[in-house]
């Protein structure tokens, strides 16, 4: 079963190696050094006062037992507005096995049921291989909001647009799951922006 874990310094070094291999998808589009990542671990991941929360994504495998398959975070938390930005990376060897989708579910559960946030937003560049992933995930969740915007990312001599999205806290009082098991049937009803 996929679950969230508490990151160690060693986990964070592994995440640095993964993120340095997919810079086209990231907001910080340059490779981080070992020292920069250690600093992030100490100053952000281990800091209760930081406006961020980070988790490892874990699963169990017959041959190796528990293993880290990704990392997921809530950044730029605005406690007054009850919102935060999602950040996600899946290990290169673990992609396309459903861990990304599970990680989003687990982090939204943390955001809405434990941190008392109202919305979680994100932005994915059109030049990122993750673009289709996010649209699929967002469209299977209700209530959500999404839009595109032009010319926000400069890469390889060209400007690219982006996909902006927001997940809203589910209307639990109705007793229905926010996750739509039938892709394509969505309720785009929520107000607000990405
Ligand atoms: C994007 C990312 C998180 C997806 O994680 P994943 O574990 O491979 O995704 P899943 O296996 O849960 O896929 C969920 C759905 O998205 C689809 N999908 C995943 N990656 C895709 C891709 N690159 N292109 C098209 N569809 C994709 C899957 O086919 C699946 O569809 P289905 O439910 O219809 O079968 C992962 O590729 C990653 O970490 N990329 C590098 C970091 C990154 O880009 N982070 C996001 C920054 S905005």
Q: CA-based Rg of the chain, rounded to a whole angstrom?
A: 17
Residue 182: per-residue pLDDT: 58
CA dihedral 103, 108, 110, 113 (to 10 degrees): -150
At residue 58, does pLDDT exceed 60?
yes
Q: Ligand 1: which of 21, 93, 130 to mutate, judged by most atoms within 8 Å of the beta carbon?
A: 130
The pick from 133, 152, 155, 194 for probing ligand 1's pocket by mutation, whose C-beta has the most ligand atoms within 8 angstroms, reads 133
* Mean pLDDT confidence for 28-55: 97
Whether the CA torsion 15, 21, 26, 29 is positive or negative: it is positive
Per the CB < 8 A criterion, the answer to whether 112 and 126 are in contact is no
- Residue 127 Cβ inside 6 Å of ligand 1? The answer reads no
Q: Average pLDDT for residues 92-111, to the nearest whole number?
A: 98
Query: Is 132 touching ligand 1 by the criterion CB < 6 Å?
Result: yes
On whether the CB atoms of residues 71 and 15 are closer than 8 A, the answer is yes
**Pocket of ligand 1 contains residue 90 by CB under 6 Å:** yes
Distance 80 CA to ligand 1 centre (A): 31
Ligand 1 centre distance from Cα of residue 37 (Å): 24
Q: What is the pLDDT of residues 111-129, one digit of tens each?
A: 999 999 999 999 999 999 9
Q: Which domains does the chain have, with CATH numbers?
A: 3-174 (3.40.630.30)
* In the chain, % of residues over pLDDT 70: 93
Arithmetic mean of pLDDT over the chain: 93
Say what the pLDDT of residue 194 is: 44
The model's pTM: 0.93
**pLDDT band, very low/low/confident/very high, at 172 (cuts 50, 70, 90):** confident
Q: What are the pLDDT digits (tens) for 135-152?
A: 999 999 999 999 999 999
What integer pLDDT is reported at residue 192 of this predicted model? 45
């Amino acid at each position: 079963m996929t679950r969230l874990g508490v990151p160690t310094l060693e986990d964070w070094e592994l995440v640095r190696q993964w993120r340095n291999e997919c810079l086209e998808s990231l907001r910080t589009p340059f490779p981080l050094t070992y020292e920069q990542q250690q600093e992030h671990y100490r100053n952000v991941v281990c800091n209760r006062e930081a406006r961020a929360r980070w988790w490892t994504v874990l699963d169990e495998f017959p041959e190796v037992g528990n293993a880290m398959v990704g990392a997921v975070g809530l950044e730029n938390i605005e406690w007054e507005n009850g919102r935060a930005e999602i950040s996600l990376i899946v290990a290169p060897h673990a992609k396309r096995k459903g861990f990304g989708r599970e990680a989003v579910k687990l982090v939204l559960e943390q955001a809405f049921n434990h941190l008392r946030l109202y919305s979680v937003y994100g932005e994915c560049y059109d030049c990122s291989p993750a673009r289709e992933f996010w649209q699929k995930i967002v469209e299977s969740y209700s209530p959500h909001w999404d839009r595109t915007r032009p010319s926000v990312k400069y890469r390889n001599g060209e400007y690219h647009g982006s996909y902006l999205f927001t997940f809203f806290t589910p209307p639990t009082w109705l007793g229905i799951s926010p996750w739509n098991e039938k892709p394509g049937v969505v309720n785009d009803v929520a107000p607000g922006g990405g």
